[in-house]
Structure 1
Amino acid sequence: MHPFIVLLNLAAAVMLLLWAVRMVRTGMERAYGSALRDGLRRARGGLPGAAGAGVVLAILLQSATAVGVLAAGFAASGMLGGATGLAALLGADLGSALVVRILAFDLSALIPVLLLTGATLFLKFEARQIRQIGRIVLGIGFILLSLTMIGTATEPMRESAVLPATIGYLAGDPLTAFAVVALLTWGMHSSVAMVLLLAALAQGGILPMAAALPMLLGANFGAGLIAVWLTRGLVPEARRIPLGNLILRGSAAGLGLLAFWLTDPQMPAWLGARTDVQLVNAHLLFNAAVVVLGLPFVGAVHRLTVTLLPVTPEAPQTERRPRSALDRTTLALPSLALASAKRELLLMGEVIEEMLRPMSDVLDSPSEGQIAALRGLDDEVDRRHSDIKLFITALNRRDLGTEDAKRSIELTDFAINLEHIGDIIAKTLLPLAEKKGAENRRFSEEGWHEILELHARVLANTQLAMNVLISGDIASARHLMQEKEVMRRLERESHERHLERLQRGNADSLATSNWHLEVVRAFKEINSLLVTVAVPILEESGMILKSRLAEPR
């Protein structure tokens, strides 16, 4: 077979493997994303409990990187401690290794069953949850199919004169083998895919253990780089967790490479009879050892990352705001004018998000400069709201069709709701933060955790609402409407727990009772205003009731 055809088949098989791993992860996130995020956020049992939660999440998502990004996001909002998040990410690395161990079994006989079942669930059912389960099953089938394709594609390589020389060179230069695979793993953004690829090459007799083991250590080092790279633009609190994981996992990989270089160890018989089995089991053993040996050092490593990535307080900037997206030259073309108003609404939503994001810090330890800057942002929200109303009023003076007139009213209503959100922040939450700071009081530990949870949820729903505004996607609109019920439940549960703390005589709860209830109520109201963007979309598709009242009999 021509070398080009061999490489083409191998490249296609590897890309199918990468896509299939991503397919399983996205299906799991879409079907059970909220439950998975809540599971990580509410992990109990200290560092071992957090590591256990990380193991489970990585198995479900088939990605330690996804768990790392989740943990980083929670750390940024203050809902997850740095040491706890680092322990969860160590556990996620072990969970990812368990996924590799499971997929490395010879499950090729299941491929037709998985493809048939997954395609049937995805194509023949309308329920979103069932379709995503079908996506997951299809993804697992494609992973197994890609591994079979890799084995078939690499068979001609055994007769190649170039490949044995290349593998022989890498076997004699473990540092190069380590570095090359670390970079490839980072580029592929999937340690699961890389280790499965190495195992497939070893199973085909192409990769001896002398080259495979340094490559395996390189894959683990590269896996630590992925989350560091993906979180590079986040705040320091978020970046510390991936950096701490890289320090622990990277140090273990480096020490393993040094030991391999100095001692040239032989694989014990209990790791397996074949090279590919030994490789996969060694990967699992390595990550288990990192968890066991690394957990006692999590606190020290987290303190090191705090030193390496200190927080520099910076008030929100009210300068350099983007200019208005409203273009009055489009008024003669209603569709363009409405698109212009929608872009302005998106800019307005970005300002609202900028006001919301630092609210956890403001409520915890307010500063005069920060509060003044947030009030400046509220002035911008008011200005954009006024501009949108005047623009749409001018548009409505023209002869609009029924559909365009309806869209203009919907956009005006959402602009009013966004302006109301700005008022809630500026006239309710900021004065409350000022009073709390002036009286030097603190929320109870449990109450503060509840506030942080609500704040993180509202922030996520702000982004979701802007996506719904732009895309008009029915599934996203439905998910946003479901978040209203979730927020209602969280607000009710927080209220009940707060009353229980008052009955127990919790001093902090007694001192901040009214403030706690007001903050919780404000976040719930903000969320309800965001959800209104989904109502017209769901009404058009017949997915929302006109009234919650039951019909009289």
Structure 2
Amino acid sequence: MLEILTAEALSPVRHGFFTRKGGASSGIFRGLNCGPGSTDLSEVVAINRARVAAAMEVEPDHLVSINQVHSAEVVHVTGPLPERPRADAMVTATPGLALAVAARETLRVGDIVGAMLEKSRLSLENSDEATGLEVTRLEQEVDALTEAIKLYVSRLSRLELDAADVRRANEIISYAINLEHMGDIIETGLTEIAVKKIRKRLMLSPEGLVEIAEFYDRTADNLRLAQAIFLGRDADLARQLVQSKIEIRKLEAHSAAQHLARVRAGRSEAIETSTIHLDLLRDLKRVNAHLTSVAHPILHEIGVLQESRVRASQSEPKPALGLRDSGN
């Protein structure tokens, strides 16, 4: 069943803000992915869009969406469109026509980073250098999208913004920048390590490979959690994500200790890949540090996380851009 959020201020206009609940997508798109421009399975996206259309009591072809380009373009919609126009807003006076606009282009960046993480893992586990090279292409997409997002949000500084708008704008920029940093770590850290292993024809120990795979799994779970927190600003999920830092530290420490024990025991594969194993642990921990940053503003807002605690973490960079409350 779909979860639909509504705002009293928008009544009596029919509207809805959909969460991920009730969607057919899986993997990095798990939930209600309605983006036809994503790399999700097209038939699954069609199922999700049909469910949203049914909830809005319109035909599937009357669920209109656009290809957001962070511009000032507005499309006047009078009926179903054969393809998505390049614009950033839609208006209509046609009854029964539902408008579906992706509220957070930043979530798309998160999905791409998730794909990068998975490809770096596959490259490592399968000794597949070609898969690793695909990460570079995805990183270029992340960089381009992040720049567009920063430019778009920075334009808001020309407007009269209230405190809530300023807060959300800064959260968007902060999360986008952290995702960009994660992409850099995955490309120049995790993937380069995998390629190094492949070219030197090295093999991790079976136990070491299991430990690294567990770390990858936990990181992918935390990315999905961060995406949900960014979209819904759920305080309970934010607490869960911050708490995961403790588990991540334990996971890193345990794997490092086990690896060094194998080295001391004279296991040749452990000795040959000692630097690789420890570097993988380090970079996966760095990715998780960036992920937890999305929870800090939410917990600080409700008084759970002290501002000094956020500042103390050197591994979680702050946004490069910020907007000022106009005071209105």
TM-score by length of structure 1 reads: 0.39
1:461·1:530 contact (CA, 8 Å) conserved in 2?
A: yes
Tell me the alpha carbon deviations over residues 331-388 of structure 1, each in whole angstroms, 9 at most, x when there is no partner. xxxxx9xxx8951111111111111123322112233432232211110000111001
Pairing of 1:29-428 with structure 2 (within 5 A): 323-324=67-68, 326=70, 328=72, 343-428=104-189
Name the amino acid aligned to 2:113. I
2:122·2:128 contact (CA, 8 Å) conserved in 1?
A: no
Name the amino acid aligned to 1:412. I
Work out the CA distance in 2 between the residues paired with 1:450 and 1:512.
14
Q: 1:342 to 1:366 in 2, by over 3 A?
A: farther
Work out the CA distance in 2 between the residues paired with 1:383 and 1:539.
30
In the alignment of these two chains, the number of paired residues is: 229
Pairing of 1:399-548 with structure 2 (within 5 A): 399-547=160-308
1:365·1:437 contact (CA, 8 Å) conserved in 2?
A: no
2:123·2:129 contact (CA, 8 Å) conserved in 1?
A: no
Name the amino acid aligned to 1:362. S
- Structure 1 position 327, deviation (Å): 5.0
Name the amino acid aligned to 1:496. A
2:129·2:198 contact (CA, 8 Å) conserved in 1?
A: no
- Structure 1 position 481, deviation (Å): 1.0
1:491·1:524 contact (CA, 8 Å) conserved in 2?
A: yes
Work out the CA distance in 1 between the residues paired with 2:121 and 2:232.
29
Work out the CA distance in 2 between the residues paired with 1:465 and 1:546.
20
Q: Which runs of 5+ in 1 are unaligned?
A: 1-230, 235-316, 331-335
Work out the CA distance in 2 between the residues paired with 1:445 and 1:454.
15
More helix by percentage: 1
Name the amino acid aligned to 2:139. D
RCO higher in structure (CA 8 A, sep ≥6): 2
- Structure 1 position 497, deviation (Å): 1.8
Tell me the alpha carbon deviations over residues 21-56 of structure 1, each in whole angstroms, 9 at most, x when there is no partner. xxxxxxxxxxxxxxxxxxxxxxxxxxxxxxxxxxxx
Tell me the alpha carbon deviations over residues 193-248 of structure 1, each in whole angstroms, 9 at most, x when there is no partner. xxxxxxxxxxxxxxxxxxxxxxxxxxxxxxxxxxxxxx9978xxxxxxxxxxxxxx
Aligned-pair identity in percent equals 34
- Structure 1 position 548, deviation (Å): 5.2
- Structure 1 position 475, deviation (Å): 0.8
Tell me the alpha carbon deviations over residues 474-500 of structure 1, each in whole angstroms, 9 at most, x when there is no partner. 111111111111111111111222222
Name the amino acid aligned to 1:326. H
Name the amino acid aligned to 1:519. L
2:122·2:131 contact (CA, 8 Å) conserved in 1?
A: no
CA RMSD in angstroms, aligned pairs only: 2.9
Q: Secondary structure at the match of 2:70?
A: coil
1:168 corresponding residue in structure 2: none
Work out the CA distance in 1 between the residues paired with 2:208 and 2:186.
19
1:364·1:442 contact (CA, 8 Å) conserved in 2?
A: no
Please identify runs of 4+ aligned residues in structure 1 that moved more than 4 A: 231-234
Work out the CA distance in 2 between the residues paired with 1:490 and 1:366.
24
Work out the CA distance in 1 between the residues paired with 2:108 and 2:271.
40
2:119·2:134 contact (CA, 8 Å) conserved in 1?
A: no
Q: 1:368 to 1:489 in 2, by over 3 A?
A: closer
Q: 1:444 to 1:368 in 2, by over 3 A?
A: closer
More strand by percentage: 2
TM-score by length of structure 2 reads: 0.64
Structure index of larger Rg: 1
Q: 1:502 to 1:324 in 2, by over 3 A?
A: farther
Q: 1:427 to 1:514 in 2, by over 3 A?
A: same
Q: Secondary structure at the match of 2:304?
A: coil
